[in-house]
Structure 1
Amino acid sequence: MTNAVFFVSCPSIESTRILLLRIYGPSSGVLISRPKELQTLHVLSSKYHIGPCVYGTFENGRVEEHFDATTLTAADMRSPQTSSWIGARMAELHNVDVQDVEEARGEDDHWDIAVAKNVQSWLAYAREVLALPGVSADVLRALDLDAFENRWRQYARWLQDVESAEGVSRRVFAHNDTQYGNLLRLKTLKDGMPEHRQIIVVDFEYAAPNAAAFDIANHFHEWTANYHLDTPHLLNPALYPSQDERRNFYRSYITHCLAEGDVSLSDEEMEVELVRLDRQVQVWSPASHAMWAVWGVVQAREMVEGKDGEPEFDYLGYATCRMEGFRREAHALGLSM
């Protein structure tokens, strides 16, 4: 939703490859470190064969590898087979050595968790947007950032207590934005390749160390989105994956997480892991809403300033929807907000 993408070809010259030209969105600079993203893409593509190769860069964009693939749709993600493939691919990304793509901060190799870092750093930019004269009183009431920050801190303390008591969700290198538009399906698969490898993950703008459960919860929230409807900014919680759909995803994810160590689980052990992972996803779920609520406000600057012409996406409406989701899910977990 923040980049313009073009396919570049030269049909007059035989055997030339199609390339992808990506132009960065106008508000993305305050949200994304492009040098860090390029470093991530280089390491993932060269060492782990994940994501596209980058062939060249310029100030507001880059040229990268084009995959002969189709972009998944909202309906595609609901297919049990496709969902299990996505789970497998997410497991492979989560098995990436964080040290390969992130610089350690401190002697104990501690990395900032992306969701906490993003919410904290983006709030200042969000406040600037809501201070602009084009923001209505109704929007200011719906997106009360002072109240949100207090609720976020309350939730973060609660989450820390839960992880201390129940166990910590594994810290991994996470994609953090596995919506259907960032998932491709190859039209052909090379001989001998596992079938789940036909799913290609792209757009690593927000990829960073995070809780594994956050990445999964965030993906499940994307089941409730359809960016091709008349109201693409509104999520439909009724479309959140059922318990059976979540367990289908988890089985594939857990199996492929363990595959690197050549470990297998008995049925009883798998059941324990399924229950544990579902609980972790549940407690991290509000964090996804919180992060994207603040993101939506920051992205709304062009729209609020009237520089966006006829906006294609209602970022403030999206932020309001995600803010409501944060409060709703935190309340469901027993937090009084």
Structure 2
Amino acid sequence: MQSSQYSRVIFMATNQEGSLEKGNLPEELVKILKSLALEWGDDWPGKTQENNSRSVLVRKYGERRDLFLDSEEEMKTFEWMSNHGYGPRLYGYFPYGRVEEFIHGRTLSQNDLWNPEISALVATKIKEFHMIDKPGSKSVILWMELRNMLSDAKRLCSPEIKNEFGLENLEEEIDILEKELSKDSNEIVFCHNDLRGDNMLFNEATKDLTLIDYEYACYNAAAYDLANHFCELAANYNSHHILDCSKYPSPEERQRFIRIYLSHKGHQPTKFEVEKFDVNVEKYTLANHLNFGLWAIISDVRSTNSNFDFLGFARTRFQQYQLKYPKYFNEKLSKSKDTFDVMEETSCYETNRITIEI
């Protein structure tokens, strides 16, 4: 990294339940920023020269963020990724936050994700991510996580909600999904597990794409990651609880994406390979709907975000789960498939970012 005579440290904060203000920065954060400024030839927070500015990204999280995340494991993952040249470089941690490299680019909109050129780039980048050989256990924790979330949902929600979503009998369906999907010889890879446009940075100048935010990254079936991405294509980011299911990719659109994904490093997949992978992806959308449906039920009780209709989100996720389940499995659902009115829309979530100059 080249140094300049002057540099200006700017930070962008991702806020959950807290905020960062220039006059009230954590001591550990100030030390990191001063160290970076010194490395770059500056004496921050003294006077700087604006045309030689540098930027870093400072992420500040709320204390309630740990409800769905293993923060210690996420820190290890991000640090390992940084040390091996994947994604943003890590500069340091402070209580409830970290400082990382600021990557120039913009997050992808829903229209971007449907752009054929960008979509092809996304497919390629996902495949590259899946080729990361991160050391440690390669056991799939998806099913354990679903059972843990189901247990939390049953413990936290009201009897009415528990009955509406058929939670008492849902563990049996999770058992069926695990048993059946484990039969399908799905490739287990290092997955991102949250492949939405907000977690992809596109550089217009270089046409490069970077996958960011590894909070949920772990080993999983490759098909699950693509299932998650396809579900996110139906997200309506102008609404706080809606998925527009008419925008879910058609078989032709899914298989075009899958063919690019499988074509990495010159491999030419057969029609059979593409179609088989597509079927596995479709099956894994069931696990994805359960995952985010249960997340929403729990969040309705625990979250302080009053602008998000968590139960509306959960209903439409469970609705899609119940519509698709009979297509692949003959076992009776815990609730009849017409329990929830058939709707054509479901939900998403956003992360707010603010830029502060210091």
Q: TM-score, normalised by structure 1?
A: 0.79
Q: Which residue of 1 aligns with 2:210?
A: 200
Which is worse superposed, 176-185 or 55-64? 55-64
Q: How does 1:1-337 map to 2 (within 5 A)?
A: 4=15, 12-14=48-50, 15-47=52-84, 49-99=85-135, 103-104=136-137, 111-131=138-158, 137=160, 139-161=161-183, 163=184, 168-189=185-206, 195=207, 198-229=208-239, 232-256=240-264, 259=265, 263-265=266-268, 269-303=269-303, 308=304, 311-335=306-330, 336-337=332-333
Question: Residues 309-335 of structure 1: CA distance to partner in whole angstroms, max 9, x if unpaired?
Answer: x61212222122212222221122233
Aligned residues: 293
Is 2:233–2:249's contact at 8 Å kept on the other side of the alignment? yes
Runs of 5+ consecutive residues of structure 2 not aligned to the other structure: 1-13, 23-32, 34-44, 334-358
Question: Separation in 1 of the partners of 2:103 and 2:282?
Answer: 34
Is 2:235–2:244's contact at 8 Å kept on the other side of the alignment? yes
Larger Rg: 2
Query: % of aligned pairs identical?
Result: 27
| Deviant stretches of 4+, over 3 Å | 5-14
Q: Which amino acid in 2 is paired with 1:297?
A: I
Q: Which amino acid in 1 is paired with 2:178?
A: A
Q: Secondary structure at the match of 1:177?
A: coil
Question: Residues 216-267 of structure 1: CA distance to partner in whole angstroms, max 9, x if unpaired?
Answer: 01100001112222xx2222221111223212211221122xx2xxx533xx
Is 2:60–2:97's contact at 8 Å kept on the other side of the alignment? yes
Q: Which residue of 1 aligns with 2:9?
A: none
Q: Secondary structure at the match of 1:282?
A: helix
Q: TM-score, normalised by structure 2?
A: 0.75
Question: Separation in 1 of the partners of 2:212 and 2:162?
Answer: 34
Q: Secondary structure at the match of 1:52?
A: coil
Q: Secondary structure at the match of 1:203?
A: coil
* Closer/same/farther in 2, CA of residues 250 and 147 from structure 1, 3 Å limit: same
* Closer/same/farther in 2, CA of residues 177 and 32 from structure 1, 3 Å limit: same
Runs of 5+ consecutive residues of structure 1 not aligned to the other structure: 105-110, 190-194
Question: Separation in 2 of the partners of 1:39 and 1:332?
Answer: 39
RMSD: 2.4
Shift of 1:57: 1.6
